[in-house]
Structures are given as C-alpha cells and as structure tokens.
Amino acid sequence: CSASPFLDLPPEFRQFFDDQFQFSQPCQKGTQRKEIGGGSGFIIAKDGLIVTNKHVVSDVAASYTVLTNDGKKYDAEILARHPSLDIAVLKIKPLTDSLSVLILGDSGGIKLGQTAIAIGNALGEFRNTVSVGTISGLARTVTAQGGDTVETIEGVIQTDAAINQGNSGGPLLNLKGEVIGINTAMVVGAQNIGFALPINQVKKAIESVKNTGRISVPYLGVRYLKITPDLAQKEKLPVENGVLIRGSEDGPAITSDSPAKKAGLQAEDVITELNGEKLNQDNSLAYLIQKYSIGDKVTLKILRNGQEMILRATLEEKPKDL
C-alpha cells in the first residue's frame, strides 16, 4: 500500500516531496485477534451458563473465549451485565460437550472464621490456582477501582484466602464445595485481604437471565444523600442516619411515574427504615432494595417536616435509561 513519510509536514512544504518520491508499507488484510486480558468464572448450568465479574467482560467490542479445566476452548456470548452489581452472565455457544456445574450455596449462613477456598486464573496465567483461608469479615463496604472505573461495593465478604489479579469472577467455596461468593477485589499492597460478592446477591440476577434472557432489577426512583452526622448538623436534620431525598445535576429528587412518586414520596423527605431495617452507613437504601424482587411491596418509614410517616411502595423494574 502506498504511504508517505511527509504527512506530518505543513502543506506548503509537503508539495515539494509528494510527487518526487514513492513509498510503500505492508497492507493490513482482515482483523487480527489478540489476547488482551483474562479472568475467571464458573459454570452454573449444564447448558453452558457461566457467571463472572462484569469488569472481566466490560469491553462490549471484544469477543470472549472460555477455557475449561480440561483445556478445551469455547466461544462465549455475553447474555447480560448487571446495571449496578459487578456481575455478568455468559453462555458457551455452541455447546457440544457435557459440563460440570458448581452448586450455589447460601451466603446468609456464613460465619466469621469458617474456611473459605478461592479458585481462579491467578495473574491471568496460572489456571486453576487454589488458595485456602478463612472468612475474616462480613458486610463490608469497599471502593474498588479497575481501569477507569471506580465503584462502591456493599455487603461483601472479606477473606484472607489469596485473591490475585486474574482471580476476579472465580468462585469462593465452602468446605462442601458450594459457591458462597464471587471473588471480586483485593487490596493492593496488603497481604491477603480480598473481597467476594455474596452468592445470595447474585442468585436473583441468575434467575432473571434464565427466565428472561436479561437481568431485571427493582428500583424505587429517588435521588438522595446519605445522612452522616456532618450532613445532619449542616441541614439541621433530626436524625444522623438514613437518606435525604434531594435532586442533583443528574435529575430530580423523585423520578416521574416511579414507585416513589406513586407512593407519595417528596423531595426533602428523610427515609429512615425500609421494611423495618434501619438505613445506616452499612445498610444503604440501594443495598436494601437489592434484596427484593420486582413487584414486592415495601414499607418506608420517613420524616417529613419533622413528622414521622409510613408510606408503602411497590417496586418496579428499573428502566434502562436510569
């Protein structure tokens, strides 16, 4: 293919060279596929359904390949990425072999000090790496960063089982071999401080994909500020926990035609409880709503102009544009 080394010159100088010299360079034909990263995942259904972290498959323009324990390669299709949790669901296509499936356990029964086993593709090159440790913390809130993405993850499991880059999306198991979490993040520069999403947070997303082919999540339809002692003092609020419903540059306090609007919530209301659970720094409104399903009815305890009120809302599916 023809090429010119003088393209960076100003036009008034380039004219003296372009007609006198001819240069060429190799032509690119087709598209070259190149491996740019790796992560972990686990099979949850014999039809080839796989769960991993959303940040492992965040590039919508990329194609993805699954390598199983026996060394076989499969093309994979991304079925759904969760809008708020670090979860994605893939499917092997076409599926020609019988696959082993992991059993999903119950993360609600996890105890501090119990044994945890992390499995994954450590550092993107050491496949089937197994590390053993203990559950060292529950219901943690961490801020994770990967590439240009920064997000706050609530309710995660802390473990000292070694979780390295490349382990993301792999299973955290109990001694029965049941999945109790999805390895998600680690603390860089610390020794064996890793975090996993509890599997109970993931089950609703899995069922949604199985039933509808996508991940549907409930929403209330409010924008808010988390109340802290400093915010309570600044705004002269009667409580130091909960959320203050208030709009921002992103939009109004109450989304139009939302469950919140239909329930009668207003800007500057303070929500203190949802179905009897108090809102605080470890129990945010968004985290509590994730526990419920579309169509569930929830009871909200609020303060309006200093007066306590009870409102009831029916959660609806979160629109795609929110």
**DSSP structure class, residue 276:** T
Which of the following is catalytic: 40, 55, 216, 284? 55
Does the bond joining 252 to the residue before it have cis omega, within 30 degrees of 0? no
Catalytic residue among 40, 107, 131, 168: 168
Respond yes or no: is residue 82 known to be catalytic.
Answer: no
Non-local (6+) Cβ contacts of 235 within 8 A are 244
Catalytic annotation on 55? yes
Q: Which of 82, 86, 107, 269 is catalytic?
A: 86
Q: Which residues contact 230 (CB under 8 A, 6 or more apart)?
A: none
CB 262 within 8 A of CB 313: yes
Q: What is the DSSP string of 150-209?
A: EEEEEEEEEE-S---TT-TT-EEE-TTS-EEEEEEEE-TTSSS-EEEEEHHHHHHHHHHH
Contact 41, 66 (CB under 8 A): yes
Residue 245 contacts residue 267 (beta carbons within 8 Å): yes
Q: In the numeric block, which tokens belong to residue 270?
A: 């303070």
Measured in residues, the chain has a length of: 322
In this structure, are residues 168 and 39 in contact, taking their beta carbons and an 8 Å threshold?
yes
Bridge partners of 280? 283
Residue 260 CB neighbours (<10 A): 25
Give residue 55's region: left, alpha or beta (phi > 0; psi -120 to 50). Answer: alpha
Q: Is 47 a catalytic residue?
A: no
For residue 41, give Cα distances in angstroms to 21, 165, 272: 55, 13, 38
Residues with a known catalytic role: 55, 86, 168
